Structure 1
Amino acid sequence: MNSKNSVVFDGQPLTIEAICRIANRQVQVQLSKQPKFIERINKGARFIDALLKEEGFVYGVTTGYGESCTVSIPLNLVEQLPKQLYTFHGCGMGDYFDEEQTRAILAARLTSLARGYSGVRYKLLQQLAELLKKDILPLIPQEGSVGASGDLTPLSYVAAVLAGERDVLYQGERLATEAVFAKLKIEPLTLKPKEGLAIMNGTAAMTGIACLAYQRAEYLSRLATRITSLALLALNGNAYHFDERLFSVKPHPGQNRVAERIRADLQLRRSAPRHDTRLQDRYSLRCAPHIIGVLEDSLPWLRQFIENELNSANDNPIIDAESERVLHGGHFYGGHIAFAMDSLKTAVANLADLMDRQMAQLMDPKFNNGLPANLSGATGEQALLSHGFKALQIAVSAWTAEALKLTMPASVFSRSTECHNQDKVSMGTIAARDCIRILELTEQVAVAVLLAVVQGVELRGNVDKAELSSLSAQTLLIPSGYKLSPALQKTVEQVREHSPFLGADRALEQELRMCLQLVRKQHWDLYDSSSR
Structure 2
Amino acid sequence: MNKENDRLSLTGSELRPEDVREVAFGRQAVTISPQALAAMEASHQLVASIVSSGKPTYGISTGFGDLSRLTISEDMNAQLQLNLIRSHASGVGPAFSSEVVRAIMLLRLNALCVGYSGVNPKVAWLLADLINHDIIPRIPQQGSLGASGDLANLAHMSLVLVGEGEALVDGQWLEGGQALARWGLSPVSLAGKDGLALINGTSVMLGLGVLGLLEAELCMDAANKAAALTFEALRGFRDAYDPGVHLLRRQEGQIQVAALLLEALEGSEWADSRQEDVQDAYTLRCVPQVHGASMDALAYVRQIISREINAVTDNPLVFADRGLVISGGNFHGQPLALALDFLAIAVAELANISERRTERMVNPQLSNGLPAFLCQNGGVQSGFMIPQYVAASLVSENKVLAHPASVDSIPSSANKEDHVSMGAFAARKAREVVANTERVIAIELLCAAQALDLMGKRQLGRGTSKVYSLIRQHIPPMTEDRPPSRDIEEIAGLIRSGAIMACSDQAGVL
Q: For the residues of structure 1 that align with 2:282 and 2:272, how far apart are their CA atoms? A: 22
Q: For the residues of structure 2 that align with 1:297 and 1:230, how far apart are their CA atoms? A: 22
The residue aligned with 1:480 is none
1:8 aligned onto 2:9: yes
Q: For the residues of structure 2 that align with 1:268 and 1:512, how far apart are their CA atoms? A: 28
Residues 401/526 of structure 1: CA separation in 2 closer, same or farther (3 Å cut): farther
Q: For the residues of structure 1 that align with 2:60 and 2:49, how far apart are their CA atoms? A: 12
Q: For the residues of structure 1 that align with 2:7 and 2:20, how far apart are their CA atoms? A: 11
CA apart distance, 1:274 = 7.9
Counterpart mapping for 1:12-411 below 5 A: 12-32=13-33, 34=34, 36-267=35-266, 276-378=275-377, 383-411=378-406
The residue aligned with 2:476 is 500
Residues 371/305 of structure 1: CA separation in 2 closer, same or farther (3 Å cut): same
CA apart distance, 1:486 = 3.8
Residues 268/510 of structure 1: CA separation in 2 closer, same or farther (3 Å cut): closer
* Corresponding letter in the other structure for 1:413: D
The residue aligned with 2:416 is 421
State the identity as a percent.
32
Q: For the residues of structure 2 that align with 1:420 and 1:485, how far apart are their CA atoms? A: 61
CA apart distance, 1:407 = 0.9
Residues 377/115 of structure 1: CA separation in 2 closer, same or farther (3 Å cut): farther
Q: For the residues of structure 2 that align with 1:530 and 1:359, how far apart are their CA atoms? A: 23
The residue aligned with 1:514 is 490
Q: Deviations over 1:306-353 (max 9, x none)?
A: 121121111100000111101111010011000100101000000010
The residue aligned with 1:468 is none
Q: For the residues of structure 2 that align with 1:398 and 1:95, how far apart are their CA atoms? A: 24
Structure 2: gaps of 5 or more residues? none
CA apart distance, 1:277 = 4.2
The residue aligned with 1:469 is none
Q: For the residues of structure 2 that align with 1:289 and 1:244, how far apart are their CA atoms? A: 11
Q: Deviations over 1:123-181 (max 9, x none)?
A: 11111111111111111111100001110000001111111111112222222221121
Q: For the residues of structure 1 that align with 2:438 and 2:473, how far apart are their CA atoms? A: 19
The residue aligned with 1:470 is none
* Corresponding letter in the other structure for 2:333: G
Q: For the residues of structure 1 that align with 2:121 and 2:75, how far apart are their CA atoms? A: 25
Q: For the residues of structure 1 that align with 2:385 and 2:441, how far apart are their CA atoms? A: 16
Q: Deviations over 1:229-249 (max 9, x none)?
A: 110111111122111222221
1:453 aligned onto 2:454: no
Q: Is the 8 A contact 1:403 1:438 kept in 2?
A: yes
Find the residue that maps to 2:59 and give its secondary structure. Answer: coil
Find the residue that maps to 2:125 and give its secondary structure. Answer: helix
Q: Is the 8 A contact 1:81 1:193 kept in 2?
A: no
Q: For the residues of structure 2 that align with 1:492 and 1:62, how far apart are their CA atoms? A: 64
Q: Is the 8 A contact 2:54 2:74 kept in 1?
A: no
* Corresponding letter in the other structure for 2:2: N
Q: Is the 8 A contact 2:236 2:272 kept in 1?
A: no
Residues 508/337 of structure 1: CA separation in 2 closer, same or farther (3 Å cut): same
Q: Larger deviation: 520-529 or 107-116?
A: 520-529
CA apart distance, 1:273 = 8.6
CA apart distance, 1:384 = 3.8
The residue aligned with 1:529 is 507
Residues 211/58 of structure 1: CA separation in 2 closer, same or farther (3 Å cut): same
Q: For the residues of structure 1 that align with 2:474 and 2:178, how far apart are their CA atoms? A: 42
Q: Is the 8 A contact 2:145 2:424 kept in 1?
A: yes
Find the residue that maps to 2:168 and give its secondary structure. Answer: strand
CA apart distance, 1:487 = 2.5
Coordinate RMSD, CA, aligned: 1.9
Q: For the residues of structure 2 that align with 1:37 and 1:150, how far apart are their CA atoms? A: 22
CA apart distance, 1:6 = 4.1
CA apart distance, 1:184 = 1.0
Q: Is the 8 A contact 1:255 1:294 kept in 2?
A: yes
CA apart distance, 1:514 = 2.4
Q: Is the 8 A contact 1:56 1:62 kept in 2?
A: yes
Q: Larger deviation: 73-82 or 100-109?
A: 73-82
The residue aligned with 1:491 is 467
Q: For the residues of structure 2 that align with 1:309 and 1:70, how far apart are their CA atoms? A: 30
Q: Deviations over 1:364-389 (max 9, x none)?
A: 000000000001144xxxx4410000
Q: Is the 8 A contact 1:239 1:268 kept in 2?
A: no
Q: For the residues of structure 1 that align with 2:367 and 2:38, how far apart are their CA atoms? A: 68
The residue aligned with 1:471 is none
* Corresponding letter in the other structure for 1:494: L
Q: For the residues of structure 2 that align with 1:28 and 1:377, how far apart are their CA atoms? A: 53
Find the residue that maps to 2:463 and give its secondary structure. Answer: helix
Find the residue that maps to 1:174 and give its secondary structure. Answer: strand
Q: For the residues of structure 1 that align with 2:253 and 2:212, how far apart are their CA atoms? A: 19
CA apart distance, 1:197 = 0.4
TM-score by length of 2: 0.95
| Count of residues in correspondence between the two structures | 505
Q: Is the 8 A contact 1:210 1:306 kept in 2?
A: yes
* Corresponding letter in the other structure for 1:529: A
* Corresponding letter in the other structure for 1:312: A
Find the residue that maps to 1:81 and give its secondary structure. Answer: helix
The residue aligned with 1:466 is none
TM-score by length of 1: 0.91
CA apart distance, 1:428 = 0.6
Q: Is the 8 A contact 1:66 1:421 kept in 2?
A: yes
Structure 1: gaps of 5 or more residues? 462-475, 478-482
CA apart distance, 1:517 = 2.2
The residue aligned with 1:473 is none
CA apart distance, 1:11 = 2.6
